[in-house]
Structure formats: structure tokens, C-alpha cells
């Protein structure tokens, strides 16, 4: 065993006494490889005197409680099979509590020892004596248990999995490892934050924070420690964003000319005028493109607000200055729609437009690639096919990413890398809450189209149970009699034995031959061939098809102003943002539109909240805030695909004030000391913790 004095923060976790190869392997699976990792393996909760009850105090009204006691007896009860259970009796000086487990009987039978101290947590039931079914169990050190009532000590409880418990890495085991780690590297914990920030934000020193977060004397100490660690996490995230923004502000090889005749002609050719909100956004984009610095702008706005025409205006400005442009979309349908929208508008200005996607015939694809490489295509629309190695540009000056959250950071990087610091415009029709924007897109300049174009009809949204489907279809027929069109959306393409959900394929045949046999009904889903999808959309767009049965493939990219009716089956199975996106396919013309959300009762609490939200508002920004509240930061937009570090301690909403403070501090430091020369410890920590992220720091 290596001498304790030689143990460092970077040492393998096996340098800690009692952590052999088996324990180390299990810890590594759970994100703990080094001594430093175990210091940042934070407790999931704490036991303090205020949360602990005596057994004699327990009643059915006690709710969630924690009891500390001594294991008296334990064993299995009942015949093998579903009736077998594991029962353990725990006592304190006031009574006896039963802990009952119906699962993992054999595991629990090997887990406990008579006479040991345990903390039992859960909801109290009563059957001749108080019981807790499937409680959370934490084994306590004898010294922890004995001194707990006298001193009021706080006991840290850690997240563990079965595999960890099997090798005695329960909360008690982890506390031992953490204690040893702190003792061995205490003198190596260096505070990397500048002293002025520590004083300004009233933070405790890092060494003190790591000690107190694991072994606080009281909950106030715990809160101080957690606040420091949350600040550090948010600060480094914002430091990375500040570094990205600084790099984007360096001079680039792309600078557009002032607006010329081609752009003016394009604007005058449009059948409508820009809204005030669109004009504000165009002003931002124009200033960026005429600047010597690379544009790195996020354009967000609700569904149907007119982002595409803004993007095409930017395309014309770039082409007029001699640059090629590219737009990448996440689906073939969306790419094809952008292509069909752009082609007549741009070719009228002699701008050469191309389309690149999978499935093209080889000779056509090769011709397209040759035209791109030689500069004979000015604007290319495509899917992921655009980032393949065979795709080269003569002079790429503008990159547009649509529905950008559906792309990984490396995919965006590859497209941007096909030019010499091209301007980048990323677009999303999923409005982003402010706190999340500061977290995920704090390096980007943000423009928002706040209002849809005038003259749009209102959308009325209503929930209907499956028993009310016939009334919904009656309403649908009335809309069809007015020469309007409709979507009927299903969650699956085919029936599934595992999922009790309706499918587009089956119900398409039923609707076509049954309820709507007197109407033209067509089918659209992602498994169709490209030409079949194009034919389905074209027929619907021309009015030949009255009802389009589809899956979520229509979530983006289908713009049919005459479609005024939508039915979404199994609506409780979709996310809030997805439901809002699909609903955005209607209400694009002047006529009133109707969206019916059909689902089998009873609905879960979250499903009711999603459906009620859609019934009450069509404002995407309000919906985004509620969606974030329901799903949480981890799911909203899938933060990992942004090349961002995952937030372990902090939450951008709950810790909004700390986030803003950390952002101000980080951006101030980078502005005044961009290379962190005055803060060597901060620089070293930043490079160590964010090496892979810093390498992607110029990716939009």
C-alpha cells in the first residue's frame, strides 16, 4: 500500500485504506475513480434530530419518518413465492417497529446483523404494531448511533445501489472512505476562486465546504457548504460560456457587405411585410453579418412566427456578398419543406438552390457534391448528410441550424468546420425559459420573434375521452364540409404488444374504410420512402387529401394554411412541448382552428397538467416554463447534447440568483483577464475539469 503522504487528489480511489480492487471497480461504475471524486460524492440527505421520531411517537398520521434503533431479530416469513416476506424488528428505548420487505428477501436476509444500529425511513402503517413497508435503510456506525441523541450530530446518507451495498459501501461504508480521503489530502485542497469573489459572494473556503458537506455539525453548516459547491459548479459553467463568447468575438474570415439590390429585391418580392418583431431580429442579424466577428446567434420564437423567412433573408444577404450558405434540418421532411419554400423565392434572384439528403441516386448526389465544391450551388438545404466528409464547400459563409436542439454539439461543429469561421444562426421553435437559456446558451446572442404574423386564426384546444371520440369526429366532418383539412396523429407507426397505444397504420385503414370512407384519407410516417413522403405532403398541400393520418413526423416542417383541425390520439403519452409543436401545424391560416386531445381516463397528475396547460394557452413561452417545471433540467432539451457539463448540485431555476451572480463574476473575469493569467489556480482547475469542453468552445 502506498504511504498516506503520497496520496493525491488524482490518486486512484484504491489509495484509500479499505478500498480494494472490487470496491474500486464498483465505485468507478458509479462515477468515483479518484480520491477527489469521492470528496464530490455528496450525501443525498441527512439525518438530524428534528427528523427522527421515537417509536412510541409513531401514528398513522406521522407520514414519512425516520427511526433510529437496534436490530433485534430478522428472518423470512411465509411460504416460498409471492407470499414470502422478510421481517426485521427494530427497537429503541420506547418500543418495537417492524420493517417488512416483499422483494429482495434473500438479499436482506444476508444484509443485517443482530444488535447493529440502523436508521429506518418510510411511511408508517399499523398492524398490531407500527410497521414500515420497504423502508429506506441506512446502517450507522455504533459511535454515530450512540452519540446521536446526546450531541445532535448530523449523519450523512449517500446514494447507493444494490451492488455497492453488497460490498459494504452503504452510507456507513462511504462515510469511512470519505473520512480517510479527507485526512489524507486535506493539505492539497487548494481554493481556486479569486479571494475577491469569495468575499463578494460570502462563500466559505473550498476545504471547509468539502468537510462540512460530509460531516456538518448542524444544518446551517451543511447549507453553507452546499451553497459554495453550487456556486463553483455554476461559475465554471459560465466561465466556459464566457470563453466561448470571447472566441466568437475574434475577427473571422467572413464579413458581409452592406445590403444591396439583391436583398432589396428579395424583400420587395415577398407577399407580406415583416412584423415589427421580425424587423428587430433582422437588424440584429444584419449587424452581426456585417461585423468582422463571427455571428453566433440563437433565433427563437413560437411555432409559426416566421423564423424561416428571416433565415432566408440572411441567406440572400450572404449570397449577395459572395458566400455559400447551408441549412441543416433534423428530418428529411423538414429539409424538403425548407427546400420547396426556398427554391421559388431564391431562384427568382438567380440564387442556385440544392438539396442533400440520404437516399439520393448516386449520380444526382455526385453532381450536387461537385456543384457545391466548385461554388455552383449558393444555398444547400440538407439533413445530417451535410456533415459527411465527402461534402465540401468553395466558400461557406453562413450556417443555419434548424431545430438545433435535435443535433449534437459535434454535429454542429462538423458543419461549421466546413468553412473558415462562418456566421452561425441556430433556430428553435421550442421557446427556452430564461434561466435555461443562461445555462445552455449563455455564450450566444439571442433574438426572439415575440409575436406571430397578423391574421392568424385562434386555436381552441379541448380534452376528450375515448368515449367522446364520435363527437370529435362529428366536429371534424363539419370542418371538412367547409373545405378545410385535418390531421389525425397517432403515437406509433405499428401496433405494439408491449405498449397499449394506437397506431397510425391500423387506424389509417379503419378510418379510410369506415368513418371517413367518403373522404380522401392519406398516411404519413417516418418509415415511408422519401418519394412516398413527398407525395403524401404534396397531395395534402394541394388539397387532394382531406385528412392526413400521421405520427409525430409532422411535428415540424409541415405548413398547410388550410388545415384547421387536429386530433391527437393517446395525447397523455406525449410531452408538453411535443404536443404544442404538433398543434402548431394548424392555425396557420385566417380561419379558427380546433385541436382535440384524446386519451383514456384516468389521467395521471402530470398528464392532466399538460393537457390543462394546452387548453388554457397557446403561448409557447408560458408552455416552455411549465414544461421545464414538469420535466426538470435533466430532460428538458437533453443538456448533454449541448457539450455542456451536467449540473450535479445546482438547479438553474431553484438557484437562479446564484446562477446570475456566478455569470456576472465569470464574464467579468474573462473580459478583464481573458487568459486567466492573474488567476493561475483558477486556470489550472478550469483546464483540468473542462478540457474536453474547452476544445469545443467555438461550437455554436
Q: Indicate whether 105 belongs to any domain.
A: yes
Q: Is residue 203 part of a domain?
A: no
Does residue 591 have a pLDDT over 60? yes
Chain centre to alpha carbon of residue 593? 30
Same domain for 147 and 15? no
Tens of pLDDT, residues 515-555: 999 999 999 998 888 889 889 999 999 999 999 999 988 87
pLDDT: which is higher, 462 or 493: 462
Q: Which of 186, 204, 226 is the last residue of a domain?
A: 186
- 317 and 352 assigned to the same domain: yes
**Res 278: pLDDT:** 94
Task: Let me know whether 413 and 463 are in one domain.
Answer: no
Greatest mean pLDDT range, 71-80, 203-212, 289-298, 491-500: 203-212
**Are residues 125 and 173 part of one domain?**
no
**Contact between 354 and 372 (Cβ < 8 Å):** yes
So what's the pLDDT on residue 638? 47
- Residue of 577, 547, 394 whose CA lies nearest to 483: 547
| pLDDT, mean over the chain | 87
Q: Are residues 117 and 22 in the same domain?
A: no
636 pLDDT higher than 60: no
| Average pLDDT value for residue range 238-246 | 84
Q: Quick one: pLDDT band at residue 557, thresholds 50, 70, 90? A: low
Q: Specify the pairing of strand 379-382 against strand 324-328.
A: parallel
Indicate if the pLDDT at residue 696 is higher than 60.
Answer: no
Distance, CA of 555 to CA of 402 (rounded, Å)? 13
Q: Is residue 692 scored above 60 in pLDDT?
A: no
- Mean pLDDT of all residues in 653-675: 89
Q: Are residues 120 and 97 in the same domain?
A: yes
Which range is least confidently modeled, 196-210, 228-242, 428-442?
A: 428-442
Mean pLDDT confidence for 69-80: 87
416-425 confidence digits (pLDDT tens): 889 888 999 9
Judged by average pLDDT, the poorest of 72-81, 124-133, 244-253, 686-695 is 686-695
CATH number of the domain enclosing 532: 3.40.50.300
Is the pLDDT score of 497 beyond 60?
A: no
Q: In terms of domains, do 53 and 2 share one?
A: no
Whole-number pLDDT of residue 4 = 47
Residues 140-150: tens digit of each pLDDT: 765 554 455 44
Cα separation, 491 vs 245, in Å, equals 40
Per-residue confidence (pLDDT) for residue 554, from 0 to 100: 83
Average pLDDT over residues 461-480: 96
**Can you give the pLDDT at residue 405?**
66
419 plus 479 within the same structural domain: no
List pLDDT tens digits, range 600-635: 988 888 999 999 999 999 988 888 888 877 776 555
- Domain count for the chain: 4
In a domain, 2, yes or no: yes
DSSP-assigned states of every residue in 581-650: HHHTTS--SSS-EEEEEE-PSSPPHHHHHHHHHHHH---HHHHHHHHHHHH-TTTTT-GGGGTPPPPSS-
**Length reported for the chain:** 700
Per-range mean pLDDT, top range of 98-112, 383-397, 439-453, 553-567: 383-397
539: in domain: yes
CATH number of the structural domain spanning residue 14: 1.10.150
Angle at the Cα of 368 from the Cα atoms of 525 and 424, rounded to 5 degrees: 75
Domain end marker among 617, 636, 653: 617
Tell me: do 485 and 370 sit in the same domain.
Answer: no
Quick: pLDDT tens for 139-194: 776 555 445 544 456 888 899 888 898 898 988 889 999 999 999 998 999 999 99
436 belongs to a structural domain: no
- CA torsion angle 10 11 14 18 (round to 10): -90
Residue 112 pLDDT level (bands cut at 50, 70, 90): confident
Residue 10 lies in a domain: yes
Specify which residues 326 forms β-bridges with. Answer: 380, 399
Q: State the pLDDT at residue 634.
A: 53
Is residue 409 predicted with pLDDT exceeding 70? Answer: no
Domain of residue 15, residue span: 1-44+158-186
- Asked if residue 163 and residue 87 are part of one domain, the reply reads no
Domain boundary, last residue among 428, 449, 483: 428
Q: Are residue 173 and residue 25 in the same domain, yes or no?
A: yes
Distance CA 78, CA 80 (A): 7
Same-domain pairing of 464 and 351: no
d(CA 505, CA 549): 9
pLDDT of residue 637: 46
Residue 346, pLDDT above cutoff 80:
yes
Q: What is the pLDDT of residues 298-332, one digit of tens each?
A: 898 888 888 999 999 999 999 999 999 999 998 88
Which pLDDT band, with edges at 50, 70 and 90, does 60 fall under?
A: confident
Read off the pLDDT band of 513 (50, 70, 90).
Answer: very high
> What percentage of residues in the chain have a pLDDT greater than 70?
90
Q: Does residue 122 lie within any of the structural domains?
A: yes
- The answer to the question of residue 642 being in a domain is no
Amino acid at each position: 500500500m502506498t504511504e498516506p503522504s503520497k496520496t493525491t487528489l488524482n490518486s486512484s480511489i484504491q489509495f484509500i485504506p479499505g478500498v480494494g480492487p472490487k470496491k474500486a471497480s464498483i465505485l468507478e461504475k458509479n462515477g468515483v475513480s479518484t480520491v477527489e471524486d469521492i470528496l464530490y460524492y455528496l450525501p443525498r440527505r441527512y439525518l438530524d434530530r428534528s427528523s427522527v421520531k421515537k417509536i412510541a411517537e409513531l401514528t398513522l398520521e406521522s407520514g414519512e419518518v425516520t427511526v433510529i434503533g437496534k436490530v433485534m431479530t430478522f428472518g423470512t416469513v411465509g411460504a416460498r413465492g409471492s407470499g414470502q416476506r422478510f421481517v426485521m424488528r427494530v427497537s429503541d428505548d420506547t418500543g418495537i417497529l417492524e420493517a417488512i420487505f416483499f422483494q429482495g428477501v434473500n438479499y436482506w436476509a444476508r444484509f443485517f446483523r443482530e444488535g447493529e444500529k440502523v436508521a429506518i425511513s418510510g411511511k408508517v402503517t399499523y398492524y398490531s404494531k407500527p410497521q414500515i413497508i420497504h423502508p429506506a435503510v441506512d446502517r450507522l456506525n455504533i459511535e454515530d448511533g450512540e452519540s446521536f441523541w446526546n450531541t445532535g450530530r448530523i449523519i450523512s446518507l449517500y446514494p447507493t445501489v444494490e451492488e455497492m451495498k453488497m460490498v459494504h459501501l452503504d452510507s456507513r461504508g462511504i462515510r469511512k472512505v470519505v473520512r480517510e480521503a479527507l485526512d489524507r489530502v486535506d493539505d492539497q485542497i487548494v481554493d481556486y476562486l479569486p479571494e475577491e469573489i469569495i468575499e463578494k459572494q460570502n462563500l466559505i473556503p473550498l476545504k471547509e465546504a468539502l468537510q462540512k458537506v460530509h460531516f456538518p455539525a448542524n444544518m446551517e453548516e451543511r447549507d453553507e457548504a452546499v451553497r459554495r459547491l453550487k456556486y463553483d459548479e455554476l461559475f465554471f459553467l459560465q466561465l466556459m460560456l464566457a470563453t466561448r463568447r470571447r472566441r466568437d468575438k475574434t475577427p473571422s474570415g467572413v464579413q458581409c457587405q452592406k445590403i444591396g439590390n439583391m436583398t432589396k429585391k428579395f424583400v420587395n418580392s415577398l407577399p407580406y411585410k415583416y412584423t415589427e418583431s421580425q424587423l428587430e431580429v433582422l437588424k440584429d442579424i444584419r449587424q452581426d453579418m456585417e461585423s468582422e466577428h463571427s455571428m453566433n446567434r440563437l433565433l427563437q420564437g413560437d411555432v409559426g412566427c416566421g423564423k424561416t423567412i428571416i433565415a432566408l433573408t440572411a441567406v440572400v444577404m450572404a449570397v449577395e456578398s459572395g458566400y455559400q450558405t447551408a441549412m441543416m434540418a433534423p428530418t428529411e421532411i423538414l429539409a424538403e419543406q425548407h427546400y420547396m419554400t426556398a427554391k421559388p423565392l431564391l431562384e427568382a434572384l438567380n440564387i442556385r438552390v440544392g438539396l442533400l439528403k440520404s437516399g439520393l441516386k448516386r449520380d444526382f448526389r455526385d453532381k450536387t457534391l461537385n456543384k457545391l465544391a466548385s461554388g455552383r450551388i449558393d444555398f444547400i438545404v440538407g439533413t445530417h448528410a451535410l456533415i459527411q466528409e465527402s461534402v465540401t464547400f468553395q466558400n461557406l459563409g453562413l450556417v443555419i441550424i434548424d431545430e438545433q436542439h435535435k443535433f449534437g454539439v459535434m454535429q454542429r461543429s462538423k458543419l461549421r468546420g466546413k468553412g473558415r469561421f462562418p456566421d452561425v444562426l441556430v433556430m428553435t421553435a421550442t421557446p427556452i425559459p430564461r434561466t435555461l437559456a443562461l445555462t445552455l446558451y449563455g455564450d450566444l446572442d439571442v433574438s426572439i420573434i415575440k409575436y406571430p404574423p397578423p391574421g392568424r386564426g385562434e386555436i381552441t384546444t379541448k380534452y376528450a375521452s375515448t368515449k367522446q371520440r364520435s363527437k370529435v369526429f362529428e366536429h371534424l366532418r363539419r370542418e371538412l364540409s367547409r373545405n378545410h383539412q385535418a390531421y389525425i396523429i397517432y403515437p406509433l407507426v405499428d401496433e405494439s404488444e408491449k405498449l397499449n397505444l394506437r397506431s397510425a397504420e391500423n387506424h389509417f385503414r379503419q378510418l379510410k374504410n369506415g368513418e371517413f370512407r367518403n373522404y380522401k384519407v392519406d398516411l404519413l410516417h417516418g418509415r415511408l420512402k422519401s418519394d412516398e413522403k413527398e407525395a403524401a405532403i404534396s397531395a395534402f398541400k394541394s388539397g387532394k387529401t382531406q385528412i392526413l393520418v400521421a405520427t409525430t413526423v409532422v411535428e415540424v416542417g409541415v405548413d398547410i394554411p388550410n388545415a384547421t383541425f387536429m386530433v391527437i390520439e393517446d395525447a397523455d403519452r406525449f410531452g408538453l412541448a411535443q404536443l404544442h409543436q404538433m398543434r402548431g401545424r394548424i392555425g396557420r391560416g385566417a380561419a379558427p382552428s380546433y385541436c382535440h386531445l384524446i386519451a383514456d381516463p384516468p389521467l395521471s397528475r402530470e398528464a392532466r397538467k399538460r393537457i390543462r396547460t394546452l387548453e388554457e394557452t397557446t403561448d409557447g413561452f408560458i408552455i416552455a416554463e411549465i414544461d421545464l417545471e414538469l420535466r426538470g433540467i435533466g430532460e428538458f432539451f437533453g443538456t448533454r447534447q449541448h457539450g455542456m457539463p451536467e449540473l450535479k448540485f445546482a438547479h438553474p431555476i431553484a438557484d437562479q440568483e446564484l446562477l446570475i451572480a456566478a455569470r456576472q463574476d465569470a464574464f467579468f473575469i474573462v473580459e478583464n483577464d481573458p487568459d486567466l493569467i492573474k488567476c493561475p489556480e483558477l486556470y489550472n482547475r478550469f483546464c483540468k475539469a473542462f478540457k474536453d469542453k474547452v476544445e469545443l468552445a467555438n461550437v455554436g
